[in-house]
Structure 1
Amino acid sequence: MAATPPPPPVGTPGYPYSSTVDGLTTVEANMKRRREILKSHLKENNVVLTICNFPLLGNGNFLEPPHKPDGKFSESLLLPDEMINPHPRFLTLASNIRERRGAKVAINVPLFRDANTARPFVNPTVPYDRELFPGDSEAKDGAAQPDHIYMDAMGFGMGCCCLQITLQTPNVDQARRLYDQLATVGAVLMSLSAATPIFRGYLADTDCRWYVLSAAADDRTPEERGEQPLARDRFVIPKPRYGTIDSFLGANDGHFRAEYNDLELVYDRDIFQHLVARGVDELMARHIAHLFIRDPLVVFEELMDQDDAVSADHFENIQSTNWQNVRFKPPPPNSPIGWRVEFRPLEVQLTDFENAAFAVFVVLLSRALLTFSDINLYVPITKMDINMDRANRRDAVLRERFYFRRSDGDCVGGGRLAQMTANEIVNGSAHFVGLVPIVQMYLDQNDVDPEVRQRLDTYIAFIRGRADGSIMTVAAWIRKFVQNHPAYKRDSVVSSEINYDLIVALDDISSGRRAAPELFGEGHAARP
């Protein structure tokens, strides 16, 4: 038998990891290898950092060579087009979102108000009086809200980085179960991974990137946002195309009830009837028909004429621009690839150890959910949306409570829901057995090599520590670094000096030159 070829030198693995538990121990090594490949292509004095966003993105000249924010694609007051990937897809996305919306996107992140922060805070780095493009007056006319960090281009959202995990299942029923169950845990796991406390050189009163992404891709017209009566458009659409899911798929496991889909779903009735008439069940038909309330954002002329019997390009063009906290992915035609679910809420972490820990934990949790069919994590969709909002807040992992299903009964209408802390959900409480104990039960039922189990237990201990507060989130660490910096004036401003020292510190940690047990746990250091 031929030896397994090494992974290709790309940011995404070229093929799935092994389905065995042992195979999960290669995840961190694979991440490390990709980091080393990246480093080998850098210039002298360049570094590789896996951080959610560059803290000064959109604040001053941060490109080399410098470029002004005067590009025709974004028309941004703050962000040069030159920072966008030059592939036509990305430039066109930035332009089409703005043109379809009829205005630039308006991203307003609550500002963290410190002792010396101006009250009210009106962002002094926004050129309110520029008159280069017709939309330049929007910031002055109210798009830029006081006491918020204002951003006006898709690049602020798509300039954020995440840890996305794609899970493959052997059949559609298991994929539907994973889609539904993982959607309900997305918020709490995102709060554990929080890593984005700075935007445009200001401390935010949030710790995550999620709603920046959502606002950055909001192409809805005023009619679709419900600000004007419907005349040209077909639907009032409650959410941007980047957000939480709007309906569960209803796995065939006896747990789903129609009451969990308590959000009025907007969907294309004609597409729904077309699918139902051809044997697709109503829950799946509504899900697909809901995707098609959106227009395609980018269409390549050479891909217009497709044989839908052998190509899914037309479907994927819509599917790939509906960005939600989980994504249900049917198999491509004529492909060995199976039914997949993407888990999308996690923030990228500073080190390969942290990223591997989150990835491995989500995989183990997904396998446990498929093994223990009696586990039921359903909560109503509207409660899941509230959880996602809370998970974005500052120190949410320690300060917020999330609606979660009790282990001892039903939760329709909130009767058996409890509001639990991240620690109670992850590590267990009187109301819920806990995600970590569920994973450990799964491992206990498998014949896992002791060395493999020890490595996996290290990852699980890290997740446990993030939930109980004994290990800091990256966001909390960054915020503390800024607030303790001698140049910080307690005015919410992250200056170039502070930002430089922060980047050096983060590089030292990720390279193993600086110990940070508060980020990883006692007895563990970043693996350089």
Structure 2
Amino acid sequence: VEYMLVSFDHENKRVQLVLSGEEVLETLQEKGERTNPNHPTLWRPEYGSYMIEGTPGQPYGGTMSEFNTVEDNMRQRRKEATSLLKENQALCTITSFPRLGCPGFTLPEFKPNPVEGGASRSLFFPDEAINKHPRFSTLTRNIRHRRGEKVVINAPIFKDKNTPSPFIEKFPEDDEAAKASKPDHIYMDAMGFGMGNCCLQVTFQACSISEARYLYDQLATICPIVMALSAASPFYRGYVSDVDCRWGVISASVDDRTREERGLEPLKNNNYRISKSRYDSIDSYLSECGEKYNDIDLTIDKEIYEQLLQEGIDHLLAQHVAHLFIRDPLTLFEEKIHLDDANESDHFENIQSTNWQTMRFKPPPPNSDIGWRVEFRPMEVQLTDFENSAYVVFVVLLTRVILSYKLDFLIPLSKVRENMKVAQKRDAVLQGMFYFRKDICKGGNAVVDGCGKAQQSAELAAEEHEEYALMSIDTIINGKEGVFPGLIPILNCYLENMEVDVDTRCSILNYLKLIKKRASGELMTVAKWMREFIANHPDYKQDSVITDQINYSLILKCNQIANELCECPELLGPAFRRVRYSGSKTDSSN
């Protein structure tokens, strides 16, 4: 879970991002893992100097009762970090800070440095907001150097009643910005606008390499669905945008492709045309059953591909690795240049960790008992520990069901890519239609036995038509008779066949209820709730502008909801349980 540190100025009705992440992190690590190797949380740095990341100190076990510990672990993390904050400061799980890049958005305040010498040379994002660890500023500088210009992010503006049409910002002091910014779009020019957002990620360990490859493929098709379900970032640089998710923004924020690689000039100094940023959806399936659905042209380093084949690596894995290696390393520490590659994997990880895709396939580190892992990366972070736990439990349960029932969600990868584009749009969870496989039970009959006629109807339909169809998220998650059984009913069937204690079963059913109601529209996504909050704010002028006062009201409300100091039935339902602890140091009476 990634967190932002914020400070409330209740007198002036203002909220800023606190640039104290490094100090907070140092204290958390000193009191935590350095003192006790079995500490329940590992704290890690993140891109923004107003951010920290918390992960469980040890992996969760394989029993069903572990599902009942996820939320408590998250609550403990929030409490632990909050205890170190000053008065009127809070730890927030918001995906994007609405006024990121607006004048004075940090505490202390710094002005951006757009001239030569700065890491990002941004018009809006000061280098002081970047974590001081050299990795982060070096990444920022090298992406810009490699690209040959600043990164360009254009997020479509939401056209409200009083939004200028066309919406055009003028940047007279900056020719690069004047050329790069598009009408009716919010222009951003730095890595911080993407990597300075927060997300929620889950890593699973598989029992073998083949299981890891199978899970990687199956979950890749689920990524856009869960991203739309977890949508939580509708605001950028003080404006209301027309997208609900951060994915396109973060993808553009680290796009280091040169003009040649982007196809804007003939290849002369570069080796490849590269179709997308190094932060995007996956480019090839890894399992044998996925091979026939690999319908995207894959750019690979042929030399590396041949070397891998000669060493006994199969075609699918060889092309996956050879595709990662069309990218240059973005950072390299001098002391890490000369390594024994038989015993250290830093050279591989250097490339692997800067290919940011919806799924990540993670080979075991050398000389370690860690197994083959896959990481699920598209989710937006939610306001509360309850919501974040619900999304985690939903995805983990889905992996159990995929493996137990040998489910098959595979569709052509080009359709998954299309789904990713749809998933980011405003209110995609209710308005979007997504390509999804109709018959997911080809590997076995367990689900048919448990879920009755709906699944059988889907199988009959699949014989008559193509393997996949356009479906709403409500149909995919909750099912529709004669069309698709629904993922939640399948999870419920699985739970009925498992030995689960009463407490754990209640927790899981509560989490699944949240997912179910978000999919049906009975409960809002965080993005939709935020939009409605802004639209109904007395200071909002229906001009797509989020002022300091509006931002203050929103983040204060988010913080109260996160710490269970107020109800929010539109987001969480009417029966959401009340205070177990107050994890905030802000004056809630404001």
Using the alignment, how far apart are the partners of 1:317 and 1:308 within structure 2? 13
Asked if residue 464 in structure 1 is aligned to residue 516 in structure 2, the reply is: yes
| Matching residue of 1:138 | 176
Aligned length: 511
| Matching residue of 1:110 | 156
- Identity score, percent: 51
Moved more, 98-107 or 445-454: 445-454
| Matching residue of 1:228 | 265
Residues 410, 261 of structure 1: alpha-carbon distance in 2 compared, 3 angstrom cutoff: farther
| Matching residue of 1:306 | 339
Match of 1:385 among 402, 405, 417: 417
Q: Does the 8 Å contact 1:9/1:34 carry over to 2?
A: no
Q: Does the 8 Å contact 1:410/1:416 carry over to 2?
A: no
Asked if residue 48 in structure 1 is aligned to residue 91 in structure 2, the reply is: yes
**Cα RMSD over matched residues?**
1.7
State the 1:6 CA deviation.
4.5
Q: Give the match's secondary structure for 2:158.
A: coil
| Matching residue of 2:79 | 36
What residue ranges of structure 1 are gaps of 5+ in the alignment? Answer: 131-135
| Matching residue of 2:211 | 174
Amino acid at match of 1:519: L
Deviation string, structure 1 residues 221-242 (Cα, Å, up to 9, x no partner): 0000011111110000001000
Match of 1:506 among 551, 558, 561: 558
Deviation string, structure 1 residues 113-144 (Cα, Å, up to 9, x no partner): 001100111126xxx233xxxxx421112x01
Deviation string, structure 1 residues 263-304 (Cα, Å, up to 9, x no partner): 011001111111111111101100000000000011111100
Using the alignment, how far apart are the partners of 1:441 and 1:286 within structure 2? 38
| Matching residue of 2:584 | none
Deviation string, structure 1 residues 61-90 (Cα, Å, up to 9, x no partner): 112221111161000011100000000000
| TM-score of the pair, normalised by structure 1 | 0.94
Moved more, 447-456 or 205-214: 447-456
Using the alignment, how far apart are the partners of 1:480 and 1:245 within structure 2? 33
Q: Give the match's secondary structure for 1:36.
A: helix
State the 1:416 CA deviation.
2.4
Using the alignment, how far apart are the partners of 1:431 and 1:278 within structure 2? 46
| Matching residue of 2:506 | 454
Amino acid at match of 1:26: T
| TM-score of the pair, normalised by structure 2 | 0.85
| Matching residue of 2:585 | none
Asked if residue 58 in structure 1 is aligned to residue 96 in structure 2, the reply is: no
Q: Give the match's secondary structure for 2:58.
A: coil
Residues 315, 257 of structure 1: alpha-carbon distance in 2 compared, 3 angstrom cutoff: closer
Q: Does the 8 Å contact 1:516/1:525 carry over to 2?
A: no
Using the alignment, how far apart are the partners of 2:93 and 2:460 within structure 1? 41
Using the alignment, how far apart are the partners of 1:482 and 1:357 within structure 2? 26
Q: Give the match's secondary structure for 1:404.
A: strand
State the 1:367 CA deviation.
1.1
Q: Does the 8 Å contact 1:226/1:236 carry over to 2?
A: yes
Question: Following superposition of structure 1 onto structure 2, how do residues 76-475 of structure 1 map, counting pairs within 5 Å?
Answer: 76-123=122-169, 128-130=171-173, 136-141=174-179, 143-251=180-288, 255-258=289-292, 260-373=293-406, 375-407=407-439, 408=459, 415-429=466-480, 430-475=482-527
| Matching residue of 2:22 | none
Report runs of 4+ in structure 1 exceeding 4 Å deviation. Answer: 3-6, 409-412
Q: Does the 8 Å contact 2:435/2:469 carry over to 1?
A: yes
State the 1:410 CA deviation.
10
| Matching residue of 1:478 | 530
Amino acid at match of 2:195: M
| Matching residue of 2:14 | none
Using the alignment, how far apart are the partners of 1:57 and 1:335 within structure 2? 40
Amino acid at match of 1:397: V
Q: Does the 8 Å contact 1:105/1:218 carry over to 2?
A: yes
What residue ranges of structure 2 are gaps of 5+ in the alignment? Answer: 1-35, 44-53, 440-458, 582-590
State the 1:442 CA deviation.
2.2
| Matching residue of 1:133 | none
Q: Give the match's secondary structure for 2:436.
A: strand
Q: Does the 8 Å contact 2:68/2:503 carry over to 1?
A: no
Using the alignment, how far apart are the partners of 2:354 and 2:221 within structure 1? 22
